Amino acid sequence: MAARRVKFGVSLPQWGASWSEVQQAALLAEEVGFDSVWVADHFFGVGPEDPLEAWTEMSAVAALTRRIELGFLVLCNNYRPPALLAKMAATFDQIAGGRLILGYGAGWFDQEYEAYGYEFPGIRTRLEQLEEGLEILKRMWTEPAPTFHGVHYHIENARCWPPPVRKPHPPILIGGAGEQILLKLVARHADVWNNLGGFHAQVAEKLAVLRRHCERIGRNCDEIEVSQQTIGAIASSPDEARRRTEAVHQEIGFLTGAPELCPTGTPGEIVDRLKKSLALGINTFLISFGRHVTADSVRLFGKEVIPVFRS
């Protein structure tokens, strides 16, 4: 199989952000060559700043941009019934002209569930619900009027028209590192596996587990794109790069388990670090420059780093 194109995504301003900040960041990311922009699916956070709502923010970005792909990292299955999510995603993909990447997860933030009136089941139940949700999404996107009777969800002749633009359906990203259940779901359903930031150092081991799951069901694991969630910090000056790296580690350091592999530093240092990650099997990098994305970081990364991997 031919080597995959190396891709770069960037998290949009969301936490404590204004629409003006989002507009500027999305248009700049598209201009300088990023492949995708991303938002998280949360209603509030553990810090002092709360986020813009994911679907509302990204729908506006879809109408604003033309080329760049639009991803959710990741949508919580329990926040919207899967059939409703399938319809929302199909309409969104129509607006976006086939640029949706649907990141999908089982949810984890119990305080958020409780605050917004959602029941917070145990992890096994949430994973069962996630699997049924995946079945419903794919069937509603590819069948005229599917019926599904599961343990947790039921649909009856559920039409989803107009369907998504991208065929057979928008790429499904599943994030996580659980070896027994989660990676098995990736093998069965995902187009993209996103390795969580905290497991950056273990990506090769997790990828080996994913390959075994794929082998058991007769799927070619090379079909699955491997993305890595990570923090990022960049500056031309070594001193400023160091300062920004320290700042982003303090702010969202939980997004990395391998500081030595993160794309932080000067452009040359970042290129070297990215090459090490590529050797581990990663081909897409989903980068957060912090809760308040600076234009100069996005521009410098697009000018000095991305072109190295396009030649």
With respect to residue 177, please indicate whether it lies within any of the assigned structural domains: no
Residue 32 has pLDDT above 80, yes or no: yes
Are 304 and 274 contacting, i.e. CB atoms less than 8 angstroms apart?
no
- Secondary structure E strands in the chain: 7-11, 36-39, 69-72, 75-76, 100-105, 148-149, 154-155, 172-175, 192-195, 225-231, 233-234, 264-265, 284-288
pTM across the whole model: 0.97
Q: Is residue 138 one of the residues assigned to a domain?
A: no
- 213 close to 186: Cβ distance less than 8 angstroms: yes
**Residue 174 falls inside a structural domain:** no
**What average pLDDT does this structure show over 94-107?**
98
Q: Residue 254 has what pLDDT?
A: 84
Average pLDDT over residues 42-49: 88
Confidence of residue 14 (pLDDT cuts 50, 70, 90): very high
Residue 11, SS3 per DSSP: strand
CATH number at residue 37: 3.20.20.30
Judged against a pLDDT cut of 80, whether residue 10 lies above it is answered with yes
The predicted pLDDT at position 48 comes to 83
Burial annotation 244-270 (CB, 10 A radius, 16+ → b, else e): bbeebbebbeebbbbeebbbbbbbeeb
The pLDDT score that the predictor gives to residue 206 is 97
Q: Does a structural domain hold residue 32?
A: yes
Higher per-residue confidence, 174 vs 292 = 174
E strands in 200-283? 225-231, 233-234, 264-265
In terms of DSSP bridges, do strands 233-234 and 284-288 run parallel, antiparallel, or are they unpaired?
Answer: unpaired
- The pLDDT tens digits of the residues spanning 250-290 come to 999 888 889 999 999 999 999 999 999 999 999 999 999 99
pLDDT exceeds cutoff 60 at 95: yes
pLDDT category at 2 given cuts 50, 70, 90 is low
DSSP string covering 143-176: SSS--EE-SS-EESS----SPPSSSS-PPEEEE-
> Is residue 159 one of the residues assigned to a domain?
no
| 13 in a structural domain | yes
Number of structural domains in the chain: 1
Give yes or no for residue 81 having a pLDDT over 70: yes
Is 43 among the domain residues? Answer: yes
Tell me the percentage of the chain whose pLDDT exceeds 90: 94
Task: Please tell me which residue, 60 or 46, carries the higher pLDDT value.
Answer: 60
Q: How far apart are CA 125 and CA 251, in angstroms?
A: 32
Bridge partners, residue 7, by sequence: 284
pLDDT at 139: 99
Residue 141: inside a domain: no
Q: Which domain holds residue 22?
A: 5-73+225-311
